Amino acid sequence: MRLCIKEPIPEVRIAISVLEVAVDAHLAGDEDLAAAKFREANCPITWQWLNEAWTKVHKNVVLKRPEGDTQEIPKSDRDPDRNITQCIKDLVLERDGYRCRYCGLPVVHADIRKIARQLYPNEVPWNPRIAAEQHSAFQAVWLQFDHVEPHSHGGKSSIENVVITCALCNFGKDRFTLRQLDIEDPRLRPPVLTNFDGLERLRQAAPSPVRSSRVVKERRLKPCNDPSEAIGFNAEAFFFEGAYISSGYVNIPPVNGKARWFKLSDTVQGEVAVRNGVKGCVIHCARELLDRRGIHADDYLVRPEQFLTY
């Protein structure tokens, strides 16, 4: 079985890299370079690769009626919550990161595209009614939440059945089952965490109307002698040198060659701190969250009295 509907071509990955350059250029104050890179990322080859696969979805079907496949069930028997709650979306994003679970492409929240469009309206076109008048790179990296087992077949809007996908893998999958598409269940492969942040750093440059569309808070918490009082009995404190808080995330310098980040939430709290004269951040969370990122928790574990918070 194949892993996804359509393997990403090199031009798509190059376009994503160009988007990263554009965002970093804007944040560095070089608007001319940012504008040029946003234009460059709008690649017609990317659009051609993407377009038919997500508009003529019937062509993605390999087997119309696979033996032993699930079937559509009456609407009265389906999960009444077709829409995925924000809580589930947050948990899925925390688990999967900004990476499609099918094809592996980096993905970007629609808010980031909206911010880029407000900042560079000529370079980031987006006509919601005409696909040909949309920025091709932002089309390709458009973050989606997919029901692996279709909702119409009894699939739940649960963390067990929802994964992060790119636009092609979600829209191209449409209402069909994995067997119809001859695609391997992505849940059989563990999420692959990368240092791609979904271009979330662009939020700090957002005009206020866009920024308010998805509330992301940068928390500065009071010191807590017993973090378990705030976020659960299994919370511990971990100090990371050089870490910083931005746009609702604690960003960690490379560990074993890879940068890491933690999204601030009810179960993850962070604060700027100094330990032994070195500035960084303390994260209060369960050590399992470090394990999932390949971080040896004991190397960063500290007692509350060992650091000073800002």
Q: Return per-residue pLDDT of the chain as tens, 310 residues.
A: 899 999 999 999 999 999 999 999 999 999 999 999 999 999 999 999 988 888 888 898 998 888 888 888 888 888 777 788 888 888 899 899 999 999 999 999 999 999 999 999 999 999 888 888 999 999 999 999 999 998 888 888 888 999 999 999 999 999 899 999 999 999 999 998 888 999 999 998 887 655 433 333 333 333 344 444 444 457 888 999 888 887 678 888 877 777 778 888 878 888 888 877 788 888 998 888 888 888 888 889 887 555 555 4
The Cβ-side half-sphere exposure at 110, using a 13 Å CA radius, reads 9
Tell me if 133 sits within 8 A of 44, measured CB to CB.
no
pLDDT value at position 215?
36
pLDDT value at position 176?
92
Nearest to 111 by CA among 198, 37, 218, 22: 198
Model-wide pTM > 0.85: no
Please provide residue 156's backbone torsions phi and psi, each rounded to the nearest 5 degrees.
-90, 155
How far from each other are the two terminal CA atoms of the chain, in whole angstroms? 53
Tell me if 245 sits within 8 A of 219, measured CB to CB.
yes
What is the C-alpha separation between 147 and 158, in angstroms, rounded? 9
